Amino acid sequence: MSSTGTTLKHYFVNHEQQFDAAKLGMWLFLVTEILLFSGMFVAYAVYRSWHPEVFTYASELLDWRLGALNTVVLLASSFTVALSIHFVQKGENDKVVVLLLLTLACAAIFMVVKYIEYEGKFSHGVFPGAGFEPHGIVDGKDYSKYDIPFAPQFFSIYFVMTGIHGIHVLVGMGLFGWLITRVARGHFSPQWYTPVELTGLYWHLVDIIWIFLFPLLYLI
Amino acid sequence: MAQGQHHIIPTRTLAAVFGLLLFLTVVTVITARIDLGVINIPLALAIAGSKAILVAWIFMALKYDNKVNLLVLALGFVFAVVFLALTLADTELRGNIGITEPGTTELTVEPVESE
Amino acid sequence: MREGSHNYLSARKGLWSWLATTDHKRIGILYAIACGTFFLLGGILATFVRTELGTPGETILDQDGYNQIFTLHGVVMVFLVIIPAIPGILGNFVLPIQIGAKDVAFPRLNLASWYLFMAGALMAVFGWLFVGKVDTGWTFYTPYSSGASNAVLWLTSAVFVAGFASIFTGLNFIVTVHKMRAPGMTWNRLPLFVWAIYATGIVQVLATPVIGITMVLLFLEKLMQIGIFDPALGGDPVLFQHFFWFYSHPAVYIMILPAMGIISDLMGTFSRQQVSGYTFIALSSVAIAFLGFLVWGHHMFVAGQSALSSIIFSMLTFLIGIPTGIKVFNWVATMYKGSVWLRTPMIYALMFLFLFTIGGLTGIMVGVLAVDVHLHDTYFIVAHFHYVMMGGALIGLIGGLHYWWPKMTGRMYNETAGVIAAVLVFIGFNLTFLPQFILGSRGMPRRYHDYTELLPSFPEFAPLNMASTIGSYILGVGLLMILVYALYSLFKGPKAPANPWGACTLEWTHTGPLPDEHNFHETPLVTRGPYDFHLADDVFGPKEEN
Amino acid sequence: MNDQSSIWLPEPASTVAGDVDTLFYFILVTSAILFVGVMGAMVTFAWRYRRRSENDRPEPVQESKIIEASWIAIPSILVAVVFIWGFRVFLELGIAPPNAYEINVTARKWSWTFTYPNGAVSTDLHVPVNRPVKLRMSSEDVIHSFFVPAFRVKADVLQGRYSYVWFEATRADTFNVVCAEYCGTAHSDMYASVVVQSQDDFESWLAENMGDGSLTPAQRGERVYTQQGCFACHTLDGTTSAGPTFLGLAGSTRNFTDGTSAVADDNYIRAAIVNPAQEIVEGFLPVMPGQYATTLPAEDIDALVAFIQEQQ
């Protein structure tokens, strides 16, 4: 991905082959992400099937309104990323910069909301693992009532899943920052925009993971 | 075929998909609030699944792409489900063959009389 | 073909040309050096283990020492030698040339994979040597691993990092095979080695992330007691075994499939005959890659999983046992009406058939529910997996290294030394592991530092263990002999011709004694299958009417 | 076929061992025949078709469909037979006869203890000959695995859960028990022995071991309190955890979430153990597991009640 725009690597026959190879490589990487998260979904499913009542009871502590807001924010960022690919294919780079900035903003909002959620939990003793001893009353819920067996498991799984997902959002934000500087410097054109396409694919997958995380953790 | 020949997804389609996704999010929140008993989880998963398919099919341009990518994504999900299914086959049915106390043996195999 | 002034070794000079190379052939050599050193380390550890067990009672290691040594032996041999070796060394070097490509699809990612692998490897060895000697076994079963010393964190993060090297290598090869085949190189003209590496890539991409998440969860279990795997906190240790074996069983196919690819090529070249059942072997390699994900529970028949899941896993295990068996039949059938040339690579191929068949048949034996209850976690299992992993994957690797040695180094090794070493390895291997089958079926458990207590009712444990130890020394001598004559041939070996074995895959027919930096001057046009010797007039001269 | 003790398997000493051995030998012999056949073919081909001249090129061979079909069918049939046979014997291994004599086994880092229904505790497993014995096993720390090679039985012993093994010894003798799952430093020292005695020897051993083995009900209650993990929710020092503390519980009046109340006498305590969800004390949740009615023998429950009543 050298900076002189449309370079064709010597070991590729033409642009098309290089672009398709990059895309297939990205899709294979996305499969590894899916399987990485599948491990956590299996842990969630196993513990939920063993202790359904604890999971529904403990999930009352998660604020579904913030979860819904985060879902909308991520969907919006997916939309802006898809639009940015649309315009980079048309060569309207100025719109691409705006859209990528919007995506970055949405991702930032997502992380801020996540910070608020985590802060709310940590301040009331809801920690993953051994540190779990909830206390205090927050909007009508007495947290100390949630100190029941296997509630730590629920919150550990919650923190591990949303934590690793959060890390992926941060990585996405870094990528978008890097992309914006390159679009601004005019590295991409309708002939060569692979990095934008690949980062877009990565971001959509991060969104898909959250699409599954939100109902499983917050709603049911 | 220069790179530019790639299919450019019209903004209207993108906007329509985005709207549909928002709508589905609202639907899933509402249906989760009302207690539908046992179908709550499958329904939530179905809605989440359809949202995921929408994102993959249009936003990730699988519709216009070389179908190998679709196969790769499908394989990812298939093996995630295999992992889940065979693990649950263990965790759900544990301990019902060893114990012969009344009522705990679902497997209707009568114990072999030791000769 | 311009004479070898401009081949891939002489094109650039200096250490930096190696450490920053993106040439798939040099990266293959880098993997060879790395995996070779770790194999030497693993081998020394194995000798410690066998010396300790040679005689009953404490010989050279105390209990902790023995547990730590066999743990490092397991980790090094599995994660740092046998999983990366064949795809890393031979996959990197040979696959692009065999499909007529100039390089892999993502050369920089290829180099990054090597650095990730080295980072993981050094973390593991450094962690074990200086931070704390881990003694949990290479399987890290909780709750023992989550209760053990914090040094386990080093090994788990090392496996996590090295796992990514495996993912990116697999990803790289899949894209290369899909997108970069030379004109005329259709899917049914791919050499079977390419099919095997392609199937291995699928397993690497689909399975390795799960060991990644397992190691992260074990890391968090240990650091923050998240209580998913530790029963004291309400977790379930059998769930850890599910997570671990979901990766580790497909991992054994990452180990054996490339070796099967090598054996297919060797049988083809050295019988100078079509490999019997080409389509079956190619498709069954990919089928095994997928079926390999359905059988992990056969490691856990006695672990306390539900009886129904044990029954399902046992049934699926037989589903995957059959195609492997049929491959062996096809390899033997390849020699029928061929012209078998018993050079060292072919001797290792036949040794592979011998050892892998024993490993496979004992695999069927421990796949049977009732028999596994008795044999699980005994030395029968140790013998079984050494027969398939060492007898299969490692002997395959050694055969492959001998076969492609002239193409990698431009030198021929000494043939008689090769045969002598092969005989030594064969005798040493069987003397080491055949007694272990009997030890295991009579009931000697695995990972036992001392068996004096069992001698009164099992007196035969002492002679069997002694025989196994002597065998391991012979095996060690044989392997060291290979190292010696290989290094010797690097400097004093005769110059190798471009096609010493009369093979007709692209890496022999379209490159000089040493391939160029970009493999080919003009991309080759492929007109025949990989084992169509009867059409290969360019290799053997016009067909005389006999 | 299964009685001669060849070099492969130790002398069988349990009813199920005979079936396991027959299956083992069947697979061993079939594999040996298959192996000799394949190796024979390999060696003859390698010799008969050895290379005569440097560049002779044999004609390609047309694979015969019959051979291919047969070497797919035959292994499949063999493997199906072996699977079904293994499955049947596995069921035999898994399901203990209802009249089995039950003994509790506790594994801990590097030793086994066997507790008998009458309270006798010993580090060696004494069992009557020709009677099915079922072991209910749990571990105090890491995973161990109870393995008696002579009986061909093995099962991992997990913490916080029971796993079961059953056998019926056919010979009065002493056999080795080994730990088959790696469990730490002295994994290879974790021995015990199974002493198979005639019925009356066993009974006399049991009686005379009963003496020192029995504890006062309260002491035994305390062991049940720790073994069953009651400490996870019920403390002894007055602090409330997920469940009410036992200190001062006996005799106090308990008011329940549904407004009613009762004095905590021994019947109330027994009912609370056996059927916890019935009355929930104010300020607590219905999360106490309810399987103690079936899993705890009556003496354990009485001992637990005695132990709780002692906590003043």
* D114 DSSP β-pair partners: D105, D122
Residue B109's pLDDT band (cuts 50, 70, 90): very low
Candidates D230, D239, D206, D237; CA nearest to D304 is D230
Residue C439's pLDDT band (cuts 50, 70, 90): very high
Q: How far is A49 from chain B (nearest CA, A)?
A: 7
Q: How far is it, in rounded angstroms, from Cα B102 to Cα C315?
A: 29
Residue B95's pLDDT band (cuts 50, 70, 90): low
pLDDT for residue D256: 80
Is the residue at A42 inside a domain? Answer: yes
Residue A14 has pLDDT above 50, yes or no: yes
Residues of B in contact with A219 (CB under 8 A): 28-29, 32, 44
Structural domain boundaries of chain C? 14-532
Tokens 């009556």 belong to residue? D298
pLDDT for residue B3: 45
Per-residue model confidence as pLDDT tens digits over D73-96: 999 999 999 999 999 999 989 888
Three-class secondary structure of residue B74 per DSSP? helix
pLDDT for residue A125: 86
Residue D3's pLDDT band (cuts 50, 70, 90): very low
Cis peptide bond N-terminal to C459, omega within 30? no
Task: Measure CB to CB from residue C307 to each of B68, B86, B97 and give the nearest one.
Answer: B97
Residue D260's CB is within 10 A of a number of other CB atoms, namely 9
* D132 DSSP β-pair partners: D168
Closest residue, chain B, to A37 (C-alpha): B80
Token digits for A90? 């048309």
What is the average pLDDT score of chain C?
A: 92
Question: Which helix (H) or strand (E) segment is D125 a member of?
Answer: strand D125-128
What number is the average pLDDT over the span A127-150? Answer: 84
Sheet holding D153-157, edge to edge: D125-128, D192-197, D174-179, D144-148, D153-157
Q: How far is it, in rounded angstroms, from Cα D131 to Cα D114?
A: 17
- Spatial contact of C258 and C264, defined as CB atoms under 8 Å apart: no
- Going along chain D from its start, the domains and CATH numbers come out as 15-51+60-94 (no CATH), 101-213 (2.60.40.420), 217-310 (1.10.760.10)
- The count of structural domains within chain A is 1
Residues of B in contact with D2 (CB under 8 A): none
Q: Are strands D174-179 and D192-197 parallel, antiparallel or unpaired?
A: antiparallel
Q: What is the ipTM of this complex?
A: 0.90
Is B92 in contact with A49 (Cβ distance < 8 A)? yes
Q: How far is it, in rounded angstroms, from Cα C327 to Cα D99?
A: 49
Token digits for D119? 């309270």
Residue C138 has pLDDT above 70, yes or no: yes
Q: How far is it, in rounded angstroms, from Cα C25 to Cα C518?
A: 10
Indicate the Cα dihedral angle A93, A97, A98, A104, nearest 10°: 150
Residue C442 has pLDDT above 90, yes or no: yes
DSSP string, C468-504: HHHHHHHHHHHHHHHHHHHHHHHHHSPBPPS-TT---
Asked if C339 has any chain D CB less than 8 Å from its own CB, the reply is yes
Residue D60 has pLDDT above 50, yes or no: yes
Q: Cα–chain-centroid distance for residue C335? A: 24
Residue B16's pLDDT band (cuts 50, 70, 90): very high
Residue B113 has pLDDT above 70, yes or no: no
Q: A17-26, A45-54, B94-103: which has the minimum mean pLDDT?
A: B94-103
Residue A146's pLDDT band (cuts 50, 70, 90): confident
Region of residue C140 (left: phi > 0; alpha: psi -120 to 50; beta: else): left
Q: How large a percentage of chain C has pLDDT more than 90?
A: 80
pLDDT for residue B100: 43
Q: How far is it, in rounded angstroms, from Cα C52 to Cα A188?
A: 64
Residue B105 has pLDDT above 70, yes or no: no
Residue D214 has pLDDT above 50, yes or no: yes
What number is the average pLDDT over the span D247-270? Answer: 80
Is B68 in contact with C178 (Cβ distance < 8 A)? yes
- Spatial contact of D164 and D136, defined as CB atoms under 8 Å apart: yes
Candidates D114, D130, D132; CA nearest to D177 is D114
Q: How far is it, in rounded angstroms, from Cα C446 to Cα C377?
A: 5
Asked if A42 has any chain C CB less than 8 Å from its own CB, the reply is yes
What number is the average pLDDT over the span A156-169? Answer: 95
pLDDT for residue C85: 95
- Spatial contact of C67 and C135, defined as CB atoms under 8 Å apart: yes
What number is the average pLDDT over the span D266-290? Answer: 76
Q: B98-107, C180-189, C430-439, D303-312: which has the minimum mean pLDDT?
A: B98-107
Is C305 in contact with B90 (Cβ distance < 8 A)? yes
Q: How far is it, in rounded angstroms, from Cα D210 to Cα D220?
A: 14
Token digits for C540? 């053997």
Return the biggest CA–CA distance within chain B.
Answer: 79
Q: How far is it, in rounded angstroms, from Cα C119 to Cα C105?
A: 23
Q: How far is it, in rounded angstroms, from Cα B28 to Cα B34?
A: 10
Asked if C102 has any chain A CB less than 8 Å from its own CB, the reply is yes
Per-residue model confidence as pLDDT tens digits over D164-182: 899 999 999 999 999 999 9
Q: How far is D115 from chain A (nearest CA, A)?
A: 29
Candidates A188, C246, C458; CA nearest to C448 is C458
**The CATH number of domain C14-532, selected from 3.20.20.140, 1.20.210.10, 2.60.120.260, 2.40.110.10:** 1.20.210.10
First to last CA, chain C: 32
Residue A4's pLDDT band (cuts 50, 70, 90): very low
Q: How far is it, in rounded angstroms, from Cα C105 to Cα C101?
A: 9
pLDDT for residue B107: 36
Q: How large a percentage of chain D has pLDDT more than 70?
A: 91
CATH number of the domain bearing residue A128: 1.20.120.80
Q: Cα–chain-centroid distance for residue A1? A: 25
First to last CA, chain B: 78
- CB contacts < 8 A, A to B, total 142
Per-residue model confidence as pLDDT tens digits over C466-515: 999 999 999 999 999 999 999 999 999 999 998 999 898 999 988 888 88
What number is the average pLDDT over the span C207-231? Answer: 93
DSSP string, C219-234: HHHHHH---SS-GGGT
Domain carrying residue A201: 15-219
pLDDT for residue A6: 56
Per-residue model confidence as pLDDT tens digits over C395-418: 999 999 999 999 999 999 999 999
Q: How far is it, in rounded angstroms, from Cα C177 to Cα C189?
A: 12
Residue C164 has pLDDT above 90, yes or no: yes
DSSP string, C293-347: GG-GGGG-TTTT--HHHHHHHHHHHHHHHHHHHHHHHHHHHHTTTS-B---HHHH
- Spatial contact of C399 and C367, defined as CB atoms under 8 Å apart: no
Residue D220's pLDDT band (cuts 50, 70, 90): confident
Is the residue at A129 inside a domain? Answer: yes
List Cβ neighbours of C388 (8 Å cut-off, separation of 6 or more). Answer: C252, C256, C356, C359, C360, C363
Is the residue at A126 inside a domain? Answer: yes
Three-class secondary structure of residue D261 per DSSP? strand
Q: Are strands D132-139 and A141-142 parallel, antiparallel or unpaired?
A: unpaired
Question: Which helix (H) or strand (E) segment is B23 a member of?
Answer: helix B11-33
Closest residue, chain D, to C353 (C-alpha): D39
Residues of D in contact with B111 (CB under 8 A): 95-98
Per-residue model confidence as pLDDT tens digits over A65-114: 999 999 999 999 999 999 999 999 998 999 999 999 999 999 999 999 99
Closest residue, chain C, to A44 (C-alpha): C228
Token digits for C494? 């005769």
Q: How far is B115 from chain A (nearest CA, A)?
A: 39
Give the residue ranges of DSSP H helices in chain D.
15-48, 65-94, 199-213, 217-227, 266-274, 292-295, 298-310
Q: Cα–chain-centroid distance for residue C212? A: 20
Q: What letter represents residue C174's amino acid?
A: I
Handedness of CA A189, A192, A196, A197 (dihedral sign): positive
Residue C122's pLDDT band (cuts 50, 70, 90): very high
Candidates D203, D170, D207; CA nearest to D12 is D170
Q: What letter represents residue A94's amino acid?
A: D
Q: Which residues 480-519 on chain C approach chain A with CB closer than 8 angstroms? A: 518
Asked if D277 has any chain A CB less than 8 Å from its own CB, the reply is no
Candidates C131, C108, C32, C141; CA nearest to C483 is C32
Q: Helix crossing, C237-271 with C278-291: angle to 10°?
A: 170
pLDDT for residue C405: 95
What number is the average pLDDT over the span D106-116? Answer: 90
Q: How far is it, in rounded angstroms, from Cα B11 to Cα C45?
A: 63
Is the residue at A10 inside a domain? Answer: no
What number is the average pLDDT over the span C25-54? Answer: 95
Three-class secondary structure of residue C378 per DSSP? strand
Q: Which residues 41-60 on chain B approach chain C with CB closer than 8 angstroms? A: none
- Spatial contact of D163 and D94, defined as CB atoms under 8 Å apart: no
DSSP string, C418-479: HHHHHHHHHHHHHHHHHHHHHHHHHTPBTT-S--GGGTTT-TTHHHHHHHHHHHHHHHHHHH
List Cβ neighbours of C90 (8 Å cut-off, separation of 6 or more). Answer: C28, C193, C258, C262, C397, C400, C401, C404
Residue A1 has pLDDT above 60, yes or no: no
Q: How far is it, in rounded angstroms, from Cα D56 to Cα A175?
A: 60
Residue B101 has pLDDT above 80, yes or no: no
Residue C172's pLDDT band (cuts 50, 70, 90): very high
Three-class secondary structure of residue D217 per DSSP? helix
